[in-house]
Amino acid sequence: MVATQAEQDDGTVFPVGGGETGSLIRAFDWSVTPLGPITSWPQSLKTVTNMLLLSPVPIVLLWGEDGIMIYNDAYSVFAGARHPQLLGSKVREGWAEIADFNDNVMKVGLSGRTLAYENQQLTLTRRGVPEPVWMNLDYSPVVDESGKPAGVIAIVVETTKRVLAEQRTRQSEARFRALTNATSDIIYSLGPDWKEMKQLYGRGFLSDTDAPAIAWQADYLFDEDRPLVQAAIDEAMRKKSVYQLEHRVRQVDGSEGWVFSRAVPIFEEAGEIVEWFGAASDITERRRNEEHLKLVVHELNHRVKNNLAMIQAIAMQTFRDASDLKEAQRRFSARMVALGRANDLLTGELWVGASLRGAISQAMEPHCPDASRCLVEGEDVTLSPKTALSLSLAVHEMATNSLKYGAWSNDEGVVDVVWKIYERADGARRLRIVWRETGGPAVSPPQRRGFGSVLIERGLSREMGGEVKMEFLPSGLVCTVDAPEDPYAERPV
């Protein structure tokens, strides 16, 4: 039966070869189709049949008005469970679910025109259930011996896997964008070896990377930090584990910032890393606060030591030659109160400095008999914490002495404290403070310099980097402080 149908008048067998599908064509009873017995096929039909059977590309021939289907092994794979029933069937019936599509193909092809589709989506039933299929389709007319179109040949290349992969990639990108929009963190992805930054959304903190970038370390890291970051990357790659590091980065404006960065590896089925996906939090403010806290603790330690040293010096000077222990205790207590009030002033300024006016006023106020007898004048100046403490103690000593022996010891005396900024002949700007007592009892120089005088002359001159002069005039005490305007200027310790 097979030999009779496939054998030609000249004794040759048609079609030649063609694998499994070629054998099926030779064995098929074509007489039950509009094509008639295979031995009576026109030469044009035989030629195109032999041609498609020898092609590795999926090809199907749709012959005649009905589009009788003849195809090769590659197309049989595409046909799935519908093979071999499709062989010899009418295309509109063989693929009934897309009959309208194929009807147009036949009309266009038999009219002598071509059609081409790229990633054309059709819903086909190849494995018992409808499924979306994407294909590249090219249709061309086939002419018979008369030169007229007698059929349509179709090259069918399925692109379903590639299209679905691209869709998954687009979906991944969409999820990436959604995640980026949903979080305040910096989101990034890198290649498996960390050499290529695929994408980074910097939240205005870092520069965005929309296209793959090779030089991302040079863009985002400072040169001195790159070995640290690379070491953490190498460790994560070696262990195929999470990368995690807190490090500096170069912000959009080029300034220094800090991030806490964490990235996880994405694996393929074989267990190899195909990508790293990560997020980084902007911790710049936290780092600055931590650095500030360190400075504050250091400053606090420094201030506590200074205060303890000052208390020790006050105690030694107050009690060293004291003949009246109760009086010495009273003076010591008053000086501690003054020191405490000065510290209160600095605490209110967060220990970053204090007002000159505030330091003088708070030290004078407890001793001044009446506001009209306490005159404080001058453009305010900011003092360093240590200078403010020393000045407060010095003013306390002078106010105490004024109340006991000076201008405030009677009902008429007045204390003037005046300061100003002036420019010396060499161009240096200076601060001059003058404490002047008038209207009190006549004054004569003391026979013995007490701790108060030492505190005022030596301590204050050292802390303010200038000179302190105390004049015991008959009309009253005049204390002049002459120091650099900038209380923060560095001076030898």
* Same domain for 415 and 382: yes
Distance CA 44, CA 31 (A): 18
Residue with the bigger pLDDT between 385 and 235: it is 235
Give the domain-ending residue among 158, 178, 209.
Answer: 158
pLDDT in tens, 376-385: 999 888 877 7
User: Counting runs of H as helices and runs of E as strands, what totals does the chain give?
Assistant: 15, 17
Residue with the bigger pLDDT between 359 and 113: it is 113
Predicted pLDDT at 409? 87
Distance CA 320, CA 365 (A): 29
* Same domain for 417 and 354: yes
Residue with the bigger pLDDT between 287 and 400: it is 287
pLDDT in tens, 189-217: 999 999 999 888 888 899 988 788 899 99
* Same domain for 471 and 340: yes
* Same domain for 116 and 45: yes
* Same domain for 11 and 36: yes
Q: Is residue 245 part of a domain?
A: yes
The pLDDT of residue 141 is above 80: yes
* Same domain for 238 and 103: no
The pLDDT of residue 147 is above 90: yes
Point out the least confidently predicted range of 55-69, 115-129, 176-190, 400-414. Answer: 176-190
Q: Is residue 73 part of a domain?
A: yes
Q: Is residue 238 part of a domain?
A: yes
Instruction: Compute CA distances 256 → 208, 220, 248, 282, whole Å.
Output: 17, 10, 7, 11
The CATH number assigned to the domain holding 94 equals 3.30.450.20
Predicted pLDDT at 2? 39
> Across the chain, what does the average pLDDT equal?
85
Contact between 84 and 24 (Cβ < 8 Å)? yes
Strand-strand pairing, 374-377 and 414-423 = parallel
Distance CA 243, CA 276 (A): 9
Distance CA 414, CA 471 (A): 16
Checking phi first, is residue 194 left (phi over 0); if not, alpha (psi -120 to 50) or beta? left
Q: Is residue 322 part of a domain?
A: no
Distance CA 262, CA 231 (A): 14
Distance CA 282, CA 206 (A): 10
Q: Is residue 295 part of a domain?
A: no
* Mean pLDDT on 69-86: 95
* Same domain for 10 and 132: yes
Range of the domain at 263: 163-282
Contact between 88 and 73 (Cβ < 8 Å)? no
156 three-class SS: strand
* Same domain for 454 and 341: yes
Instruction: Compute CA distances 219 → 206, 208, 209, 232, 493, whole Å.
Output: 9, 11, 10, 18, 43
Give the domain-ending residue among 214, 249, 282.
Answer: 282
Length, in residues, of the chain: 493
Q: Is residue 426 part of a domain?
A: yes
Tally of CB atoms within 10 A around 401: 21
The pLDDT of residue 414 is above 60: yes
Confidence band for 411, pLDDT divided at 50, 70 and 90: confident
**Residue-wise burial string across 326-336, b where 16 or more C-beta atoms lie within 10 A, e elsewhere:** eebeebbebbe
Residue with the bigger pLDDT between 444 and 99: it is 99
Give the domain-ending residue among 257, 282, 307.
Answer: 282
Tokens 């020191």, located at residue:
339
Q: Where are the beta strands (DSSP E) in 296-413?
A: 354-355, 374-377, 382-383
Tokens 């036949």, located at residue:
106
Q: Is residue 353 part of a domain?
A: yes
Q: Where are the beta strands (DSSP E) in 30-129?
A: 59-63, 68-71, 115-125
Question: Which residues neighbour 255 within 8 Å (Cβ) at sequence distance 6 or greater?
Answer: none
CA angle 490, 339, 459 (to 5 degrees): 40
Distance CA 332, CA 400 (A): 12
Question: Which of 27, 68, 32, 54 is closest to 153 using CA atoms?
Answer: 68
Q: Where are the beta strands (DSSP E) in 269-340?
A: 273-282
The pLDDT of residue 314 is above 80: no
Q: At how many degrees (to 10) do helices 385-404 and 284-319 cross?
A: 30
* Mean pLDDT on 28-45: 95
Predicted pLDDT at 145? 94
What's the total number of domains in the chain? 3
**DSSP single-letter state for residue 203:** B
* Same domain for 140 and 15: yes
* Same domain for 454 and 393: yes
* Same domain for 400 and 272: no
Backbone angles phi, psi at 273, to 5 degrees: -75, 130
* Same domain for 152 and 16: yes
Please state, for a pLDDT cut of 90, what percent of the chain lies above it.
53
The pLDDT of residue 459 is above 60: yes
Strand-strand pairing, 429-438 and 382-383 = unpaired
Q: Is residue 476 part of a domain?
A: yes
**DSSP single-letter state for residue 479:** E
The pLDDT of residue 93 is above 80: yes
The CATH number assigned to the domain holding 361 equals 3.30.565.10
The model carries a pTM of 0.43
Predicted pLDDT at 350? 44
Contact between 466 and 387 (Cβ < 8 Å)? no
pLDDT in tens, 157-195: 999 999 988 887 787 667 766 766 777 788 899 999 999
Confidence band for 450, pLDDT divided at 50, 70 and 90: low
Distance CA 417, CA 281 (A): 54
